[in-house]
């Protein structure tokens, strides 16, 4: 939809294309309409608006519904990927897998997926994780964020510190079991955010990350893997 004009010693200038007027489509393409809208107008719809527009097209609705359920209903269909936040990009990547009808036996490996995410984005990411688990998938997540760690079925805590001072398995088990391990930095933080019923409780100082890294394992079958 734009034309880049090189200015040699000055910064390049982007001008709106005179032929397509910023729509990125030729006139012949824009003349084709579906229920009164051309392709450019359809791509300007948000996910929520598109759900109503394509209500009679089940294959499209099934994809859009997943995006709406993980909190991306406000995105426009034609929105550039470069405008997405870290949290939006993470959830968008998962959306393709969430739309699968059967994730039984599928293992997803994620390396610190919450990096740079806002607290609200983390909550929505965890919701996406739960949907994958409900579909029968298993998740192996390397993470420092305590909200993710306490949500896992099984933990493997590496330490005792990070970098060259780590690499050893300090603790394994459910979040409640690791919370009782006095040698585990992760256990120390978990003990402060879990009460007797295993429900989350914010730490008094607002801290949200343990000193040591943890691998969290969740699986659709809800049975913990064997300890190494």
Helix (H) / strand (E) element for 176: namely: helix 175-179
The per-residue pLDDT for 218 is 57
Task: Judge whether 147 and 208 are in contact, CB under 8 Å.
Answer: yes
The pLDDT of residue 195 is: 63
Residue-level pLDDT at 199:
46
The owner of tokens 């913990």 is 224
Contact status, residue 129 vs residue 216, Cβ threshold 8 Å = no
What whole-number distance in Å separates Cα of residue 137 and Cα of residue 109? 11
Q: What pLDDT does 91 receive? A: 84
What is residue 75's three-state secondary structure?
A: coil
Write down the pLDDT at residue 214. 53
Q: Please state, in angstroms and rounded to a whole number, the distance separating the CA atoms of residues 213 and 173.
A: 15
Chain centre to alpha carbon of residue 114: 8
Instruction: Give the pLDDT confidence score for residue 53 in this predicted structure.
Output: 98
Q: What is the pLDDT of residue 216?
A: 60
pLDDT at 125: 87
Is beta strand 138-143 parallel, antiparallel or unpaired with respect to 154-159? unpaired
CA 168 to chain centre: 29
Tell me the three state secondary structure of residue 58.
helix
pLDDT score of 76: 96
Question: Residue 97 half-sphere exposure, CB side, CA atoms within 13 Å?
Answer: 23
Other CB atoms within a 10 A radius of the CB of residue 27 amount to 10
What is the Cα–Cα distance from 39 to 23, expressed in whole angstroms? 9
9's tokens: 């010693």
pLDDT in tens, the chain (228 residues): 778 888 888 888 888 888 888 888 988 999 999 999 999 999 999 999 999 999 999 999 999 999 998 889 999 999 999 899 887 888 888 888 888 878 888 999 988 888 878 888 888 889 889 988 988 999 999 998 999 999 999 999 998 887 888 889 999 999 999 999 999 999 988 998 886 444 444 444 444 455 444 556 555 544 344 333
Q: Residue 192 phi/psi, 5° resolution?
A: -90, -15
Looking at residue 222, what is its pLDDT?
40
Q: Which residues pair with 143 in a beta bridge?
A: 214
| pLDDT at site 45 | 98
């Amino acid at each position: 939809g734009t034309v880049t004009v090189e200015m040699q010693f000055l910064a390049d200038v982007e001008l709106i294309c005179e032929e397509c007027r910023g729509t990125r489509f030729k006139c012949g393409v824009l003349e084709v309409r579906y229920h009164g809208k051309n392709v450019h107008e359809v791509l300007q719809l948000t996910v929520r608006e598109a759900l109503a527009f394509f209500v009679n097209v089940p294959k499209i609705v099934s994809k859009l519904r997943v995006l709406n359920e993980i909190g991306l209903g406000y995105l426009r269909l034609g929105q550039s990927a470069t405008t997405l936040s870290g949290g939006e990009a993470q959830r968008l990547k998962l959306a393709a897998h969430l739309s699968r009808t059967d994730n039984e036996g599928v293992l997803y490996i994620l390396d610190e997926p919450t990096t740079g995410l806002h607290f609200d984005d983390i909550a929505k990411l965890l919701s996406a994780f739960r949907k994958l688990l409900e579909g029968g998938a298993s998740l192996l997540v390397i993470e420092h964020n305590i909200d993710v760690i306490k949500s896992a079925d099984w933990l493997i805590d590496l330490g005792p510190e990070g970098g060259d001072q780590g690499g050893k398995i300090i603790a394994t088990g459910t979040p409640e079991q690791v919370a009782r391990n006095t040698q585990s930095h992760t256990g120390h933080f978990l003990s402060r955010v879990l009460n007797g019923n295993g429900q989350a409780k914010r730490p008094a100082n607002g801290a949200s990350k343990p000193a040591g890294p943890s691998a969290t394992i969740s699986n659709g079958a809800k049975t913990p893997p064997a300890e190494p």
